[in-house]
Chain A
Amino acid sequence: MNKAKQLFAGLILLALGLGTAHADYTLNLMKGVTKVSNDIYDLHMLILWICVFIGIGVFGAMFYSIYHHRKSKGYVAAQFHENTTVEIIWTIIPTLILIGMAIPATKTMLELNDVEKSDMTIQVTGRQWYWDYKYLDNDIHFESHLDEASEKVHRTVGADPRSVPHYLLNVDKPLVIPVKKKVRFVLTSMDVIHSWWVPDFGWKKDANPGFINEASTYVEKPGTYRGQCTELCGRDHGFMPIVVIAMEQPDYDAWVKRTLELQKQKPDLSDQSTQQLMAHGESVYLKNCVGCHQIGGAGVPGLIPALTGSAIVTGKWESLDGFLRAGTSKMPKFDKLSGKEFAELMTYVRNNLGNKVGDELQPKQTALPDDDE
């Protein structure tokens, strides 16, 4: 069936002369890689076929009538109306069909709702506009942002999205889970409502600020699974994808070990060249600032102040540093950045985005004693 549909769609596209046809588009729901996503797929197909069947019946009768019972053919209208038997039949039969649908739907709903007896738990926190993952069993904690390549292209008029692999569906640090383990997710948000969706897992769940939702998955086969935020969460709602890599247990264990080691390393506070500072600064900017202040630092008139020519940005670096660490009622505080990142970011914003302060800050200058922790 899928093949036939793809062929049909391909023919339409061909007929319309679209040379762009990308091979990996789909017309139907994907089966996914978990039992529940497969059950949802089956449920989806069942209801779809019932609808197609009913549609053929009803529209068939209607079009038969439209073809045959027309005045231009000299057909004389019958004047019948009201027939209790017929009306009872067309009330009872749909009711029975609905009961037939409700049974498998209820079973799948129970399955979807089951978060008991999980092997591990990951806390997912929605932020404007990235995901924050915390492994509650082993203290791994990191942020997952849209990758830099997509970030640059989607902010530039006329840039070619086809030049970026997995455009808008790629992140800098994917979530990693083991296969054949029941992974429980607890979802919340730090700002507005987000929704965490990986189609291959079969569900999405809202991340509500101040509340915790639960969901779980059990992935059968290793692979990379991509998804997106599905609750409007502001201007960059379309730019906070999800990437989950499912690994065999030994690979996963190795990843955990490596990640924990990296996490424990003290940040490198050695001096950097101007080019290094600017390049690293751009990365920090693209991850943390660009969503609001925009790629050229122009901000958004009426909503978000420009960084270009800003007195705070181009003033004394110590006060800029304090400002970034403290935040304001409109801007979140960025004390999560390391001393090294502060140096890179400040050097970048003071000497790019139309600003030319001409200074250069080194990690040692900006690092506070507790930044290392």
Chain B
Amino acid sequence: MSAVVDEHDHHADDHHDHGPAKGLLRWITTTNHKDIGTLYLLFALAMFFVGGAMAMVIRAELFEPGLQFVDPAFFNSMTTMHALVMVFGAVMPAFVGLANWQIPLMIGAADMALPRMNNMSFWMLVAGVLLLASTLFMEGGAPNGGWTLYPPLVLQPITVGKALPFAIFSVHLLGISSIMGAINIIATIFNMRAPSMKLMDMPLFVWTWLITAFLLIAVMPVFAGAVTMLLTDKFFHTSFFNAAGGGDPVLYEHIFWFFGHPEVYIMILPTFGVASTIIPVFARKPLFGYASMVWATGSIAFLSFIVWAHHMFTVGLPLAGELYFMYATMIIAVPTGVKVFNWTATMWKGAMTFETPMLFSIAFVVLFTMGGFTGLMMSIAPSDFQYHDTYFIVAHFHYTLVPASVFILMAAGYFWLPKWTGHMYNEKIGQLHFWISVVSVNVLFFPQHFLGLAGMPRRIPDYAVQFADWNMISSVGGFIFGVSQLLFLYIVIDTIRGGTGEKVSDEVWEDAAKHSLEWTLPSPLPYHTWTTPPTVVPTEHVLDSH
């Protein structure tokens, strides 16, 4: 324990009880950033398994050509719900959970700036996801027009039964929840930093989340607006997207992807932040280019607003539009390349060790880069006239989401759980989890490149027989990947309940305290931390001039 914390604890004990409330009510009414972080992370983990189960249904039906298990409409519901649950129920909440735990710890703040709103945004997320899940049991089934909810398909009575208004209201709730979370994060970072911590002293995880929070505030209302227009088109006879009434279905695509492209960076920027936090610790070396990482993150965020129509190269854009969106999209490769080079240079001449968080982080750098390569290939507009809406794009975005975002979330779990709980996880099982995951995820997604190039469209429940072999291999990979994630669940529960029994030090990882503030606090973390801000901040990652 550092002197600072000790002194404060003593002072505070005189006034009020420091421990959490007892029983279930603790979790419902909590305003503590650590409790809310835990709620977010556990909820996200649960949704990861729900969304994963839907993926298993998809891969089971695609295991062989022909009709085996599910009706095509239910298949379409599964692809739609898998995406919505994974994006809005698993990946985004998981990063908000990490932000809740880590941002106050990393910037020396006692809690989030708006703790009550923090509680509200979590429970609104739960309400939103439950409402969405309830559509599975409705007459006509869950939405099955794809997660993009393109009209006129999603407005058709024969396609989406009673579910549409519920799905739209659910999107509204999730949007409000995300916006409140983002406001909270921005307010915390700007107002609650330790006085000695300048913006350019902040750990990269905090930086990437700050930028992500601005993206959220900018685009969630756009999505809410788009789905509200769907609602009025459906029930109030407006014609925003109905050509017969003077509207345009392609308008929806523009609005959706103006939200949708920044949205995918909302899921990847915090990923970059965690990777930039973990790699230096296990390379025992400062991050190679802190400032350029911050600028690269900012550039990627800015570019995310001006490239949306690369999702729409084949909708019939004018030539100038095709060329502009192609060039703008290609430019993203530059800041993204800077990031990959930076991680590589950070590892270069380090003294690396390969504990589970580092293994997942290295796999992230390699496999995310592969997703980046296919992204670059698809930015080339004429080539995209072949790749678009095939399994090639399915492979691409799963490479940037699963072995990137999801792997980094796993890495973060292994990295910080010992700090949060004071218990060490079982390294052997952790490594086993990593190796099974990294092999099976490639067996799952790599063959999908071949399928796409060979001409298999996405979102089809059945396919021509020449696609049979790679689909079968992909499904086998999928089942192994799905089942092996139960190892992670086991490790999380095991670690919370005592893990290996080894008492972890305050730093947990060798010299971690040189990199970030949370490692200067005791392990396990007390319920309240940084009630007095720290006076000295680690400068390991910062410019020499500081």
Contacts and interface: CB of A to CB of B under 8 A. Distances in A.
Contacts, number: 331
Interface in A186-215: 191-193, 195, 197, 199, 202-206, 208-211, 213-214
A227 B455 contact: yes
A18 B472 contact: yes
Interface string B344-373: 111111111110000000100110011001
Contacts of B337: 90-91, 94
A105 B313 CA distance: 13
Given A98-B330, A109-B381, A205-B314, A161 B465 contact: yes
The CB with the most chain B CB atoms within 10 A, among A24, A109, A236, is that of A109
Contacts of A95: 334
Interface string A122-142: 000000000000000000000
Contacts of A176: none
Contacts of B351: 69-71, 75-77
B66 A158 contact: yes
The CB with the most chain B CB atoms within 10 A, among A59, A81, A169, is that of A81
Contact of A79 (B286, B341, B469): B286
A47 interface: yes
B68 interface: yes
Contacts of A71: 284, 351-353
Interface string B215-255: 00000000000000000000000000011100011100000
Interface in B147-163: 150, 152-153, 156-159, 161-162
A167 interface: yes
B348 A61 contact: yes
A70 B286 CA distance: 16
B347 A204 contact: no
B1 interface: no
A210 B340 CA distance: 45
A339 B389 CA distance: 40
B339 to A, nearest CB: 11
A237 B389 CA distance: 12
B473 A16 contact: yes
A155 B70 CA distance: 11
B464 interface: yes
Contacts of A16: 473
B76 A232 contact: yes
Interface stretch (B48-56, B88-96, B319-327): B319-327
A21 B141 contact: no
B390 A230 contact: yes
B65 interface: yes
Interface string B276-316: 00000001111111111000000000000000000000111
B382 A105 contact: yes
Nearest to A60: B344
A292 B468 contact: no
Contacts of A106: 323, 326
Contact of A105 (B159, B326, B468): B326
B67 A154 contact: yes
B455 A81 contact: no
B288 to A, nearest CB: 5
Nearest to B285: A77
Interface in A299-315: 300-304
Interface in A94-148: 94-95, 98, 101-102, 105-106, 108-113
A234 interface: yes
Contacts of B170: none
A98 B331 contact: yes
Interface in B8-61: none
Given A69-B351, A86-B345, A330-B157, A62 B466 contact: no
Contacts of A167: 65, 464-465
Given A227-B455, A235-B159, A79 B314 contact: no
A19 B138 CA distance: 42
Given A211-B250, A227-B455, A238-B457, A193 B150 contact: yes
Contact of A154 (B66, B242, B468): B66
B350 A28 contact: no
Interface stretch (A37-45, A256-264, A266-274, A352-360): A37-45
A66 B362 contact: yes
Nearest to A27: B450
Nearest to B390: A230
Contact of B250 (A27, A208, A232): A208
A62 B365 contact: yes
A157 interface: yes
Contacts of B369: 55, 58-59
B140 A193 contact: no
B341 A47 contact: no
A58 B289 CA distance: 17
A79 B286 CA distance: 7
B347 to A, nearest CB: 5
Given A39-B382, A47-B383, A95-B334, A80 B349 contact: yes
A85 B125 CA distance: 46
A87 interface: yes
B96 to A, nearest CB: 30
B385 A101 contact: no
A275 interface: no
Contacts of B472: 18, 20
B407 to A, nearest CB: 16
B415 interface: no
A69 B333 contact: no
B72 A105 contact: no
Nearest to A18: B469
Interface string A232-268: 1111111100000000000000000000000000000
A162 B319 contact: no
A62 B366 contact: yes
A20 B468 contact: yes
A371 B375 CA distance: 53
Nearest to B335: A91
A112 to B, nearest CB: 5
A21 B469 contact: yes
Contact of B161 (A193, A208, A303): A303
B131 interface: no
B136 interface: no
B386 interface: yes
Given A71-B284, A71-B353, A82-B543, A98 B334 contact: yes
A40 B323 contact: no
Contacts of A219: none
Contacts of B292: 87
B459 interface: yes
Contacts of B460: 228, 237-238
Given A82-B543, A204-B385, A77 B284 contact: yes
B197 interface: no
Interface in B89-145: 138-141, 144-145
B287 A81 contact: yes
Contacts of A28: 450, 453-454
A335 interface: no
A125 B336 CA distance: 41
A58 B340 contact: yes
B502 interface: no
A54 to B, nearest CB: 8
The 7 A-B pairs with the shortest beta carbon distances in the complex, nearest first, are: A210-B243, A238-B460, A302-B139, A302-B140, A213-B316, A51-B373, A77-B351
13 contacts: A18-B472, A20-B469, A69-B350, A70-B354, A71-B284, A75-B350, A90-B341, A162-B465, A211-B243, A235-B73, A238-B459, A300-B140, A330-B157
Given A51-B377, A102-B327, 14 more contacts: A13-B473, A29-B453, A55-B369, A58-B344, A62-B347, A69-B352, A91-B334, A91-B338, A98-B331, A106-B323, A109-B382, A161-B66, A197-B389, A206-B315
